[in-house]
A and B are shown apart, each in its own frame.
Chain A
Amino acid sequence: MGELRLMKGNEVIAEAAIRCGCDGYFGYPITPQSEVMETLMDREPWNETGMVVLQAESEIASIHMVYGAAASGKKVLTSSSSPGISLMSEGISYLAGAELPCLIVNVQRGGPGLGTIQPSQADYFQSTKGGGHGDYRLIVLAPSSVQEMNDFVELGFQLAFKYRNPALILTDGVIGQMMEKVVLADFIPRATEEEIDQKRGSWVTNGRKPNRQRNIITSLEMDSGRMEQNNLRLQAKYDRMEEEDVLFEELQCEDADYLLVAFGSSSRICQKAVDQAREKGIKVGLLRPITLFPFPKKPIAALAKRVKGILVVEMNAGQMIEDVQLAAGNVLPVMHFGRMGGIIPSPGEVVDALEQKLIGG
């Protein structure tokens, strides 16, 4: 059993990165996630595990540093918040195109533009539909607790390496800043060059070894036939993610008449809302997508056949609702309740919305 601590979500990202044998972190300060790099700089992991921590000149540079290190077979991450992720979109598209594994953490704040430093979930589209140019997907994990901030660092890397694809932890200022009990993971040593060559030698660019051909990391292909093949290969990979790695959690759905669908911090609010509604005699359940891509289409489709209506609760103007509607089909009302601008809805507001929009007030 790992070490039990009381920690902030952002600090846990840093600690988990060190413990999972990460080779490097590259980032640029932005609220509400600056504690990630501050914690790392304070911990000085270069003395302990040899992990590199570098404050870059911008988010653009950070993500391209991640590209270079990832392409050499290293286990590397970056973190930022919404405006910084927009800047990273170029690099993220290149990482996806060159099929490089890495971990990106987005501790969301409200937009558009400079917006607010208060929490938000308005980057759902950006995260799950690509974000940068081209047909690509990220593996998107949405933690709802400080414990999951810890767990999803290693999980994100595992999935990233399994698929040779960037993984994104999509969280927000609530979970980043919140303090909770957390069981920290045990230390995993960093991979040696021999291990990297053994596991990833078919593609890594860490110097052409005598026993292999030279490797080239690129997303460029001028021949349209071959470029279409590259795209088809990517799409097949995303399909495989949908088959093999969908994660979700169901809460009190067995007897539910109505279903809430919410991710991340909204799902925490919805847990309370479920209890409050049940005290009022309304049988409500909660489905929490844990992977936002691949999206839990099948469980939502199954529940859509059993309940009378679905309320999607998000801290945005209505983004995940589109995926819920697609999964549920036109068999029942699917409504949305959201707050924006950094306002966190209360459980009571969610119950009111449920009564007004679905049960009929």
Chain B
Amino acid sequence: MELADIINPNNLVYEKPKLLTENTMHYCPGCSHGVVHKLLAEVIEDLDIQEKTIGVSPVGCSVFAYNYIEIDWQEAAHGRAPAVATGIARTNPDKVVFTYQGDGDLASIGTAEILHACNRGENIVVIFINNGIYGMTGGQMAPTTLLGQITATTPNGRDAGRNGYPLKITELIAQLPGTSYVTRQSVHTPATIRRCKKAITKAFQAAMDKKGTSFVEVVSTCNMNWKMTPVKANEWMVENMFPFYKPGDLKDSSKTDPESYTPIKN
């Protein structure tokens, strides 16, 4: 058998999504961001919406998300991506708009923007990368940091008395009538990656069907600032984060229409 018999289009089982650019990713090896980017590129390609999708990148390690997926992008200020996405989606109702945000961005500085965008039921997709830490600025405590977790600003572990409690913002968001599909995923094994892709696909479909906001949390690792190897980080995540941030769907009304209302006359 010749090499050409093996490397042959008929034998192709895997290729890089066409929408992923050739730019070298700046993420640390083992970081979850890269995997989620790949899934996003695949979903956008599968749904054939690359000509009408606008991505909104946050402030955080994924600030440069726009370098990696071949679509139009806007870079938002820290925490404001849901407001930026609202502005795009409201004035361009036939486009597909998503935000990509870290836990500091979404659950701390941008809490107001995310809650209100979800509460208004903006027809957007939110991809929420929860790595329990501020990756970009060097590993400080995030609102999602677990009790006892060591970070640059909680060197002896997060203490509830001093630092408050970890915030389950996804549970809060699932309460809002404006959201249609709210799920918590991860990307640490081939099986979870496949499941996460399904979830992202469903989220995009729901937003395109105008069912309200869809929200996909991805419980993630930041092996760099957790100061672990990628393998150890995955184990740590399963052991420590999953009991608190339980993977699975929190809400699925992606097939039902948003609630209507009767005006109250006075």
Name A residues whose Cβ lies closer than 8 Å to a Cβ of B.
23-24, 26, 52, 54, 56-58, 60-62, 64-72, 74, 76, 90-91, 94, 98, 204-210, 214-220
Contact = CB atoms under 8 A, between A and B. Distances in A.
B-side interface size class: 20 to 34
Given A67-B76, A206-B92, A76 B87 contact: yes
Nearest to B52: A207
Contacts of B72: 204-208, 214-216
B87 A217 contact: no
Given A24-B90, A214-B71, A215-B72, A68 B77 contact: no
A26 B117 CA distance: 13
Question: Main SS of chain B's interface residues?
Answer: mixed
Interface string B72-96: 1111110010011111111110010
Contacts of B112: 57-58, 60-61
A9 to B, nearest CB: 26
B91 A74 contact: yes
B51 interface: yes
B82 to A, nearest CB: 8
Contacts, number: 129
A316 to B, nearest CB: 29
Contacts of B80: 60-61, 64, 67, 90-91
A208 B75 CA distance: 16
A64 B95 contact: no
Nearest to B21: A214
A319 B113 CA distance: 35
Nearest to B95: A207
A68 B87 contact: yes
Given A65-B90, A71-B88, A207 B74 contact: no
9 contacts: A52-B90, A60-B80, A61-B112, A64-B87, A65-B86, A67-B80, A204-B72, A207-B52, A216-B66
B111 to A, nearest CB: 11
A357 to B, nearest CB: 45
Contacts of A90: 77, 80
Contact of A67 (B71, B87, B92): B87
A64 B91 contact: no
B116 interface: yes
Interface of B: 50-54, 56, 63, 66, 70-77, 80, 83-92, 95, 112-113, 116
Contacts of A217: 73-75
A305 to B, nearest CB: 46
Nearest to B57: A218
Contacts of B63: 220
A215 B72 CA distance: 5
Contacts of A61: 80, 83, 86, 112-113, 116
Contact of A214 (B73, B77, B84): B73
Contact of A72 (B66, B75, B91, B116): B91
Name the residue in A90, A209, A218 with the highest tally of chain B Cβ atoms < 10 Å from its Cβ: A218
A284 B97 CA distance: 58
Contacts of A91: 77, 80
Nearest to B76: A64
Given A60-B80, A60-B83, A206-B95, A69 B71 contact: no
Contacts of B95: 72, 206-207
B90 A214 contact: no
Contact of B53 (A98, A207, A219): A207
Given A64-B83, A65-B90, A206-B72, 19 more contacts: A56-B86, A57-B113, A60-B113, A64-B84, A65-B84, A67-B76, A68-B83, A68-B88, A70-B87, A72-B54, A72-B87, A72-B92, A72-B95, A74-B92, A207-B52, A207-B71, A207-B72, A208-B50, A220-B75
